[in-house]
Amino acid sequence: MAARRTVTLQDIAADAGVSTATASRALATPTKVRADTLARVQLAAKARGYVLHGAGRALRSQRTRTIGTVIPTLGNAIFANATHALQKALEARGYTLLLACHEFDLANEVRVARQLIERGVDGLVLVGLDHDDALFETLDGARMPYVLTWALDRGGRRPSVGFDNRQAAARVVQYLLDIGHREFAMIAGLTGRNDRARERVNGVRAALAARSIPLPAERLLERPYTFAAGREAMRQLASRRGPTAIVCGNDVLAIGALAECRALGIAVPDALSLTGFDDLDFAAHTSPTLTTIRVPCEALGATAADALLAIVEGGDATRCHELPVELVVRETTAPPRPLSRAATPAARKRTPAPRRRART
């Protein structure tokens, strides 16, 4: 039986009625050819079962058309959503995404980033501004393009795509102050080597300080971003005479705190106002629905792809891309009642207020 002849790019070009260069461009960078040409080439490739040889293309171009991203975790939906948007934007430009997680361990981040570089990625997308010095030494030594996300390097030293975490957290507090709250607590993420969590704490402190309102040490609790940690922190705050408003470092902590309020009989927002940060999908479906900061995670992923590819492909590279965030007011916040004794045993006996329509 005769061996089957290998299908070549020249075969695909002939079938589609285009040049070999056009066929290669259509398969490698589909956005750079006309739609009708792309359709003919893709149809010819599908009919013959042809796949563009990535290794050979990489040798010719010195690029693999792969991008790596290292994120803290996939356990938080906000990172998963942004990574999905990043992947879609890269795919539209003919790039493949390789993903790794460092589990909030910056030494591990250096290790997995090196692994991605060794596999020939053309660039890296990273999260936050806090990184081990060894990571930047590795990136600079390999002349590896990269972009930082979820935060802003205002000095423009390193390319970044994100939003102002401090200003966003301050905006939540300003809203709560404007509706009458003066007694605050915060359930924050772990701030050690996490600039996003740290800046949200700084934003809360700054907004309160501007009104000469303290945030006592016993009312600032740092916890991992888990539902259980949010519940435990809320239980600790409820064990003593507490605040009328609790600002949470993200929606996961806020939902955990809300669940604990329900278990303890603390009426939200009648006895206590509660806010989150991120506007995950479930924030609009809790009972009561969650007041939070909406982070543009899809825009963040797409903009990160554009910013990095501008560097990789040698185009104009803007150093700092700031994205807007939005305060979404829903049902977990309301003005404090006169002489409120929120989060105390007495407050737990009060009946919940009627559900209000969500405001955006």
pLDDT tens column, 237-259: 999 888 999 999 999 999 999 99
Token couple for 106? 């910056």
Give me the residue spans of the domains in the chain: 9-52, 64-163+297-323, 165-295+327-348
Cβ pair 129, 199 in contact under 8 A: no
Give residue 62's pLDDT: 55
Whether pLDDT at 360 is above 50: no
Nearest alpha-carbon partner for 201 in 127, 209, 336: 209
- CA-CA distance, 93 to 305, in Å (whole number)? 9
- CA-CA distance, 355 to 360, in Å (whole number)? 15
Amino acid at 255: I
Superfamily of domain 64-163+297-323: Response regulator (3.40.50.2300)
Q: What distances in angstroms separate CA 313 from CA 33, 93, 95, 122, 305, one per listed residue?
A: 17, 11, 12, 10, 12
Cβ pair 175, 327 in contact under 8 A: yes
pLDDT tens column, 88-124: 999 999 999 999 999 999 999 999 999 999 999 999 9
Residue bearing tokens 């006996």? 349
Identical fold for domains 64-163+297-323 and 165-295+327-348, yes or no, is: yes
Whether pLDDT at 344 is above 70: no
Q: Of 119-128, 220-229, 347-356, which range is least confident?
A: 347-356
Q: Of 35-49, 88-102, 125-139, which range is least confident?
A: 35-49
8: confidence class by pLDDT, cuts 50, 70, 90: confident
Quick one: three-class SS letters along 217-232?
HHHEEECCCCHHHHHH
Let me know if domain 165-295+327-348 sits in CATH 3.40.50.2300: yes
Dihedral angle of Cα 92, 98, 102, 106, to the nearest 10 degrees = -80
Residue bearing tokens 């002349």? 143
Q: Given its phi and psi angles, is residue 280 left (phi above 0), alpha (psi -120 to 50 degrees) or beta?
A: beta
* 340-266-239 Cα angle (round to 5): 85
H-helix segments, the chain: 9-16, 20-28, 35-48, 54-61, 77-92, 106-118, 133-141, 165-178, 195-209, 227-238, 251-264, 297-312, 345-348
pLDDT tens column, 14-31: 999 999 889 888 887 787
pLDDT tens column, 195-217: 999 999 999 999 999 999 999 99
The model carries a pTM of 0.78
